[in-house]
Chains A and B, each alone.
Chain A
Amino acid sequence: MPIQSRSVRPLTVTLLLALSGAVIGSAHAQTAGGILRAGMQADPVGLDPHVTEATSTRNQLENVYDTLVAFDSAGKIVPSLATRWTVSKDNLTWTFTLRSGVKFHNGRALDASDVAYSINRIKNPATKSPRIGDFDLVKSVTAPSKSTVVLTLSKPFSPLLSKLAFTLNVIVPKEAAATLNTRPVGTGPFRFVEYVPQTRMVLRKNPDFWGKDAKGNKLPYLDGITYSYLPDPTARVTALRTGTVDWIEYVPSTDITSLKANTAVNVLGGPAANYRALFFNVNEKPLNDPRVRRAIAYAINNQEIVDVALLGVGGLASAGTTFPNGSYYAKPDPSYGKPNLDKARALLKQAGLPNGFTLNLKVTSTYDFLRIPAEILQAQLAPIGIKVNITALEWSVYLPDILKKNYMATILGESGQGDPDDYLYTPFASDSGGNLTNFKDATIDGWLDQGRQISDAAARKALYAKVQQRLVDLSPMVFLYSSTQYEAARKAVQGYQHFPNTSYIGLRTTWLKR
């Protein structure tokens, strides 16, 4: 369960990462056939993709369904069920052209009304979708022809494509909607066969799948995937070692080093699309003074937190931004997270607190990766006279408190969905429900609003760089690290590509060497 409750909004970000060694094998010709046995951390939380937020449901069903557009492994938007799209001059009307010859697993051909139906289903309050807000700005979705879908917006919204690419916002056939929670029906490379709770989910190859590899061979290569549920991390790793499964998700940091040394196994992974930060409630004195917040940032050693709390492999020290290292939109500051106590003391003195103060830090005891850093911070802030009082609470007690902004400082993480907007607007815009720090800055609000209206990537990058610089100056949060995420597979598993956004779309091109 940890993953579901912790990263809630699963991660997907526009990343242009140099994923060296992220693809296993590929020199050999692919052999078709075989069933991949995958060891999963958790059961899906319901099977209806529109009704759930669970990463587990998304990951196990994202190869059963397709989205209108998709992310590639570098986080770029690429065609999926839509082959091309145009946007009007005023950025309000988006027109998508659908791929022809796509069939649902029930045999019926996909048409534009299914796309309209699916988006409207998420928007309909009766569906109880946690992503009802994703399409708030979508005024209407229409299907003027069998292969054309038109989305009309009430305000320009460039993050629209990444909302459409999110693999829970999938296209479903309208006639199957009522039974999606027991029998998923999609257009993806694998069709759903059965789900036995806490035991397994069985998927079989969809011979009519539209996707092809670079050489024009039909995808997928595998005959099927069988997911089994192994919630205990040690048990999951043992199952891979003994070969009772071929592939596992969420390799615990404690096992990464030893698995990398195991010649029967490949470990894949790296940065995940999230950030963990020290959040300040900027309404609380003395944290209402940006100098105090910046002083704290100057006293913190991020690498030490990664080395001690995350055993050196569970995260990457943050370079002063919510974007993970390597992201196209990131504006890293190489000096960030390396302590400079003189500057910290000077700022505190300017703020009238030469002897420091008491900082009440409320954290969750449920996740070590959020609690242990608190103890390190306690030690790191002591030299500048800041006494840290730690209160640790169980997640379900902790979270409602934080959402009510009933805290002085906390350590928390959030994940982006796929657009730079997620990393900056959601946590920092003054009118965003995801703003948990009470942070309010008119300049940043203006820039963030502008960022939603322009679609040129380079122009957005320049704008968001300014936002990130100002966020470091004003420090509503101290950015600590981003978590890493690893999958591991037996050597026979080939062609699997790790996506940095907790997506197992890489299973579409996976094959078993025999």
Chain B
Amino acid sequence: MSLGWLIRRVLLALMAALGVSVLVFTLLRLVPGDVVTQLIGLEGNVSAEQQAEMRRLFGLDQPIWMQFGTWLIALMQGDLGVSLRTDRPVFQDLLLRFPVTLQLTAMALFFAVLVGLPLGILAALRRGQAADLLSSGFVLIGLAAPEFWLAILMILLFSLNLGWFPPNGYVSPAESVWGNLRSMFLPALALSFSLAAATTRIVRASLLDVLSQDYIRTARAKGLRASTVIMRHALRNAMIPVVTVIGLQVGNLLGGAVIIEQLFGLPGVGRFALEGINLRDYPVVQGAVLWIAVSFVLVNVVVDLLYSVIDRRVVYS
């Protein structure tokens, strides 16, 4: 991998993020209602002149290209602006929430790989047997069942009946590491279901594909131990599609899992963006979407890099 490739890749990523920003900026302003209409709601006693004055004070009376320019220039200086409603700097609030989303993503990924990888391997090796059928059943349920429904079932079982985990609420690791893990366990598990199912399926398919290759037969014929054939020769080569699928999913998860965050009361990026959308708090939505876009793009760069680690034949120049 060359440095030039990396720079080009990052520049392209930045272009994509800029494109997303323009799109969001425009779309947001096409949505009916703005922060002033949300602020006064059904209030009858705010006159049209007073409303116009509020818009002027919020800077919403300027032409849209000028608003975008102002926002972009501030962005260049690392300033995402302040929320129109809470006056809090958007960047500061994102930094507050990102660790929660990151931890949720990491834990969900951990659970998913912990289950999906062995299950996928097992299903591929025992193709057509009971283990394969069971794993197919799991994949079907995992992909089809909505995560909020699984989450509610888990809350009922693990919190209400067994009392093992708190039903909701977030504990920061700075307060209690154990409390933090307990508060994140159920949401991560709920999120990991579909990810585990997708991983299982792609591992199985990819491995079956590799196992039919000539070099595997050769390896077996050489008299290598079955475990060596699978682990060293087959699995490594089967990994590229697996990493692609997991990478895409992780990119999605980093954007925040809105429903799971709502359900478990976790202060993540998704809930932050949702709140911004509901209140028509433009800087919050723009900042959050830009953040999500950048993390998605970065994950993709990392995935590309992983290809060359997994398969030395992949070279970027």
B167 at the A/B interface (Cβ < 8 Å)?
A: yes
What residues of B have a CB within 8 angstroms of the CB of A53 in the complex? 39-41, 43
B46 at the A/B interface (Cβ < 8 Å)?
A: yes
What residues of A have a CB within 8 angstroms of the CB of B279 in the complex? 1, 45
B32 at the A/B interface (Cβ < 8 Å)?
A: yes
A side interface size, CB within 8 A: 53
B9 at the A/B interface (Cβ < 8 Å)?
A: no
A144 at the A/B interface (Cβ < 8 Å)?
A: no
A216 at the A/B interface (Cβ < 8 Å)?
A: no
Q: Which of B50-58, B239-247, B289-297, B300-308 contacts A (4 or more CB under 8 A)?
A: B50-58
A283 at the A/B interface (Cβ < 8 Å)?
A: no
A126 at the A/B interface (Cβ < 8 Å)?
A: yes
B45 at the A/B interface (Cβ < 8 Å)?
A: yes
What residues of B have a CB within 8 angstroms of the CB of A352 in the complex? none
Contact A238–B167 (Cβ < 8 Å): yes
What residues of A have a CB within 8 angstroms of the CB of B120 in the complex? none
Interface string of A16-60 (1 = CB under 8 A from B): 000000000000000000000000000101111000110000000
Interface string of B149-166 (1 = CB under 8 A from A): 000100110011001001
What residues of B have a CB within 8 angstroms of the CB of A154 in the complex? none
Least CB separation from A414: chain B residue = B42
Smallest distance from the beta carbon of A353 to chain B beta carbons, Å? 31
Contact A434–B50 (Cβ < 8 Å): no
Contact B97–A198 (Cβ < 8 Å): yes
What residues of A have a CB within 8 angstroms of the CB of B47 in the complex? 133, 433
Give the residue of B58, B267, B278 whose beta carbon is less than 8 angstroms from that of A198: B267
What CA separation (Å) do A4 and B178 show in the bound complex? 35
Contact A239–B168 (Cβ < 8 Å): yes
What CA separation (Å) do A238 and B161 show in the bound complex? 11
Smallest distance from the beta carbon of B186 to chain A beta carbons, Å? 11
Given contacts A242-B167, A434-B45, contact A400 B32 (CB under 8 A): yes
What residues of A have a CB within 8 angstroms of the CB of B32 in the complex? 396-397, 400
B side interface size, CB within 8 A: 51
Contact B85–A45 (Cβ < 8 Å): yes
Smallest distance from the beta carbon of A258 to chain B beta carbons, Å? 12
Smallest distance from the beta carbon of A168 to chain B beta carbons, Å? 12
B102 at the A/B interface (Cβ < 8 Å)?
A: no
Contact A230–B169 (Cβ < 8 Å): yes
Given contacts A1-B278, A52-B85, contact A238 B44 (CB under 8 A): no
Smallest distance from the beta carbon of B60 to chain A beta carbons, Å? 12
Contact A400–B45 (Cβ < 8 Å): no
What CA separation (Å) do A5 and B42 show in the bound complex? 8
Q: Which of B91-123 contact A (CB under 8 A)?
A: 93, 96-97
A78 at the A/B interface (Cβ < 8 Å)?
A: no
Given contacts A130-B39, A235-B155, contact A230 B44 (CB under 8 A): no
What residues of A have a CB within 8 angstroms of the CB of B271 in the complex? 198, 231
Give the residue of B33, B85, B264 whose beta carbon is less than 8 angstroms from that of A400: B33
A438 at the A/B interface (Cβ < 8 Å)?
A: no
Contact A197–B93 (Cβ < 8 Å): yes
Contact B46–A433 (Cβ < 8 Å): yes
Contact A5–B278 (Cβ < 8 Å): yes
Contact B167–A199 (Cβ < 8 Å): no
Q: Which of A198-254 contact B (CB under 8 A)?
A: 198-199, 228-232, 234-236, 238-239, 241-242, 244
A101 at the A/B interface (Cβ < 8 Å)?
A: no
Contact B54–A432 (Cβ < 8 Å): no
A182 at the A/B interface (Cβ < 8 Å)?
A: yes
Least CB separation from B50: chain A residue = A132
Give the residue of A136, A196, A199, A241 whose beta carbon is less than 8 angstroms from that of B160: A241
B68 at the A/B interface (Cβ < 8 Å)?
A: no
Least CB separation from B281: chain A residue = A45
What residues of B have a CB within 8 angstroms of the CB of A308 in the complex? none
Least CB separation from B272: chain A residue = A198
Interface string of A130-162 (1 = CB under 8 A from B): 111110100000000000000000000000000
A125 at the A/B interface (Cβ < 8 Å)?
A: yes
What CA separation (Å) do A333 and B32 show in the bound complex? 40
Contact B41–A9 (Cβ < 8 Å): yes
What CA separation (Å) do A426 and B96 show in the bound complex? 42
Give the residue of B43, B54, B263 whose beta carbon is less than 8 angstroms from that of A9: B43
B214 at the A/B interface (Cβ < 8 Å)?
A: no
Contact B166–A244 (Cβ < 8 Å): yes
Contact B160–A197 (Cβ < 8 Å): no
What CA separation (Å) do A236 and B266 show in the bound complex? 13
What residues of A have a CB within 8 angstroms of the CB of B264 in the complex? 235
Give the residue of A130, A228, A234, A241 whose beta carbon is less than 8 angstroms from that of B43: A130
B209 at the A/B interface (Cβ < 8 Å)?
A: no
Give the residue of A9, A52, A228 whose beta carbon is less than 8 angstroms from that of B169: A228
Give the residue of A134, A234, A434 whose beta carbon is less than 8 angstroms from that of B42: A434
Interface string of B250-281 (1 = CB under 8 A from A): 00000000000011111110011001001110
A8 at the A/B interface (Cβ < 8 Å)?
A: yes
Interface string of A90-132 (1 = CB under 8 A from B): 0000000000000000000000000000000000011010111
What residues of A have a CB within 8 angstroms of the CB of B272 in the complex? 197-198
What residues of A have a CB within 8 angstroms of the CB of B88 in the complex? 181-182, 197
What CA separation (Å) do A181 and B45 show in the bound complex? 24
Give the residue of B37, B50, B159 whose beta carbon is less than 8 angstroms from that of A399: B37
B138 at the A/B interface (Cβ < 8 Å)?
A: no
Least CB separation from A8: chain B residue = B41
What residues of B have a CB within 8 angstroms of the CB of A430 in the complex? none
B86 at the A/B interface (Cβ < 8 Å)?
A: yes
What residues of B have a CB within 8 angstroms of the CB of A340 in the complex? none
Least CB separation from B38: chain A residue = A5
Contact A130–B263 (Cβ < 8 Å): no
B3 at the A/B interface (Cβ < 8 Å)?
A: no
What residues of A have a CB within 8 angstroms of the CB of B87 in the complex? 46, 48, 181-182
Contact A235–B45 (Cβ < 8 Å): no
Contact B167–A235 (Cβ < 8 Å): yes
Closest 10 CB pairs of A and B: A434-B44, A133-B45, A8-B41, A198-B267, A433-B44, A238-B167, A396-B33, A181-B87, A230-B265, A1-B278
- Residues of A at under 8 Å CB distance from B? 1, 4-5, 8-9, 43, 45-48, 52-53, 125-126, 128, 130-134, 136, 181-182, 196-199, 228-232, 234-236, 238-239, 241-242, 244, 396-397, 399-400, 403, 412, 414, 426-427, 432-435
Beyond the given A132-B45, A244-B168, A433-B44, could you list 10 further A-B residue pairs with CB under 8 A, ordered by the A residue number? A5-B38, A8-B40, A43-B275, A128-B54, A133-B50, A198-B267, A238-B159, A242-B166, A244-B166, A426-B45
